[in-house]
Chain A
Amino acid sequence: MAKDPKNPVIQVRDLVVELKGNRILNGVTLDVYRGEILGFVGASGAGKSVLTRTIVGLLPKQQGRIDVFGVDLDAAGETQRQEIERRWGILFQQGALFSSLTVGENVEFPIREYLSVSDRLMTEIAITKLEMVGLKPDVYRKYPSELSGGMIKRVALARALALDPEILFLDEPTSGLDPISAGDFDQLILTLQRTSTMAVFMVTHDLDSLHTICDRIAVLGEGRIIEAGTMDRMLASQHPWLKAYFHGARARTGLAAARN
């Protein structure tokens, strides 16, 4: 389904977040639309993770407003909030799999908590999700400590997708993967996203991901969004940090590769 500019699933308005007295985000305004992949970039330490964690409610905000699916998160009650949490999936940077549960139990965990489906269907869905992210069904009974880094990311993605979320948050999904796996992972996210109306909010430093799969890019700097728009707009921007980022040596080779 095409992206729908009139239908933002996340609306962030004038968000201010302070951590231990340091103002990390100072008036961030950002929209994420249904059915798009938004790439989110910024220098290390600019507050990308802080913004993601604030949106999903892991960090408190000082000012501003966050609407998810048109609901103000501050005004939402316990049940309404749970309803929203059911509709998003989060892939943490290190996977954050539950180490005392098997891979299968990890993927089934949100299904078990949120849906009342039979054990058989739950297992089948878990295996389907694992196969969708490119794993063999054998991993179902393994423990996270028996998996490689790339496999952990895939399992974590399968868990994030377990409830067929409408928003998927990805925190540096390709970091720590080799270029081939990273490329596969990008294609995987793209395919999964194209089969649904899911919005993907992807924090990344991977220029290849930005070129190949992102519909729109938002850039965070100096505590606010410096620029948001398509790749062409990023390339045309005169902002010094953006110029350095998108026209640096690594960016040029990446761009050339993407164009070929």
Chain B
Amino acid sequence: MTAGILLSSQTRGDWVELSAAGSWTAEYAGAIEPQVDAATRTISARGIAININRIEYLDTYGAWLIERTLRHWTNQGRETRLVGLREDFRGLFEKVRAGTQTLSPAPKPSNSVVATLVSVGMTMSAVAADLVMLAQMLGSLMAALGRVAMRPTSFRFTSMINQLERVGWRAVPIILLITVLIGAILAQQGIFHFRKFGADIYVIDMVGVLVLREVGVLIVCIMVAGRSGSSYTAELGAMRMREEVDALRTMGFDPIEVLILPRILALVIAVPILTFLGSMAALYGGGLVAWLYGGIQPEVFLARLREAVSVTTFKIGMIKAPFMALVIGVVACVEGLQVQGSAESLGEKTTNSVVKSIFLVIVLDGVFAMFFASIGM
């Protein structure tokens, strides 16, 4: 395919005849368009004809550019004519000419102040809708749990074990690694600052209380939200996109009972175990640093730890774990079931799931702190 493109004009009385030649194809469309536009601007004759006899190759791009020019002139009330249409191009021209190009104008962007207010309002109502949906999910989950309790054989035990392996067992190495590091960092920072007052030994109190009461469970929950919550959302979202959830529903199964209950129960079982392991690992990491960096012998560390923390401290951390697991699971499943058709929506909901569950976990931790303080624990 060679040849450039040109439009040479020739005046015949009232008429101007433009002649097109060469390849009027997609490849050259970028170069042809300015020529065509220039012709549209400069020619002011009453009648205009375009001779396309010498066009070698023509595709939709070329045909449309010619058609667009003719339409432009016709709309100005001038006479137009297409000359030299070859038989093999006729079908293409008919197709292009049939197009109406009537695209309704794009909706106008509204005033920026109004748009901001609208977006704030929408966000607030979305927050309210979210809370309603979380409550709904919690309710349907309890109802499903009730139904399963009446007919224990209908519970998807295999599914739960499978999930337990994914969110519990396989999470153990990474949880241990992270909590050891967190415990070590806490101890190192404590020793570094407490040493100035000669209060090194109180590092053990700090690490013990902090890890068992707050940090252990929080770190584990944040990890689980990022690791398992996101995967729940993505999984359920993809199933929704491919109508698998609808298929379940039409077969007479409750998606909550089949998909969500086993997943959330698995989380509720796994998170306390992971919290226990994580807390122990953090204490181990703290002890290790206290010994190697702070020179506190392991026997001293253990003896001091026994004085510093009570079973109550440990219980407070463990009591919180299943509730936090429930929050992570419910948020992840609610988000997953809201996924719409597009890939973008899947990504957005997965992000939402992680952000919201971490936020709610921390809020819940605050609520627990107030609760335990008021009952004197």
A residues lining the B interface (CB < 8 Å): 1, 98-100, 111, 115-118, 121, 123-125, 127-129, 131-132, 137-138, 140-141, 143-145, 161, 163-164, 191-192, 194-196
Contacts and interface: CB of A to CB of B under 8 A. Distances in A.
A140 B29 CA distance: 22
A124 to B, nearest CB: 6
14 contacts: A99-B342, A100-B343, A116-B30, A121-B64, A125-B60, A132-B60, A132-B95, A132-B98, A143-B341, A164-B25, A191-B91, A194-B91, A195-B89, A195-B92
Contacts of A141: 106
A164 B60 contact: yes
A247 B65 CA distance: 48
Given A100-B342, A143-B342, 8 more contacts: A117-B30, A121-B65, A124-B68, A128-B96, A128-B101, A143-B341, A195-B89, A195-B91
B60 A99 contact: no
B26 interface: yes
B interface, size bucket? 20 to 34
Contacts of B96: 128, 132
B33 A124 contact: no
The 10 A-B pairs at the shortest CB distance, nearest first, are namely A145-B341, A99-B342, A100-B344, A164-B59, A195-B91, A195-B92, A131-B99, A116-B30, A137-B103, A117-B30
B355 to A, nearest CB: 20
Given A99-B341, A115-B27, A137 B101 contact: yes
A143 B61 CA distance: 25
Given A118-B33, A132-B60, A99 B92 contact: no
Contact of A121 (B33, B95, B98): B33
Interface string B174-214: 00000000000000000000000000000000000000000
Give the interface centre of A116, A140, A144, A195 by most chain B CB atoms within 10 Å.
A195
B103 A127 contact: yes
A66 to B, nearest CB: 23
Nearest to B95: A132
B75 interface: no
Interface string B96-130: 10111111101000000000000000000000000
A36 to B, nearest CB: 16
B133 to A, nearest CB: 21
B29 A117 contact: yes
B307 interface: no
B344 A115 contact: no
Given A99-B341, A100-B342, A124 B106 contact: no
A125 B62 CA distance: 10
A123 B33 CA distance: 14
B104 A138 contact: yes
Contacts of B340: 145
B14 interface: no
Given A121-B65, A164-B59, A140 B99 contact: no
B99 A195 contact: no
Contacts of B60: 125, 128-129, 132, 161, 164
Contact of A164 (B26, B88, B343, B344): B26
Nearest to B93: A195
A115 B92 contact: no
A137 B25 contact: no
Contacts of A194: 91
A196 B92 contact: yes
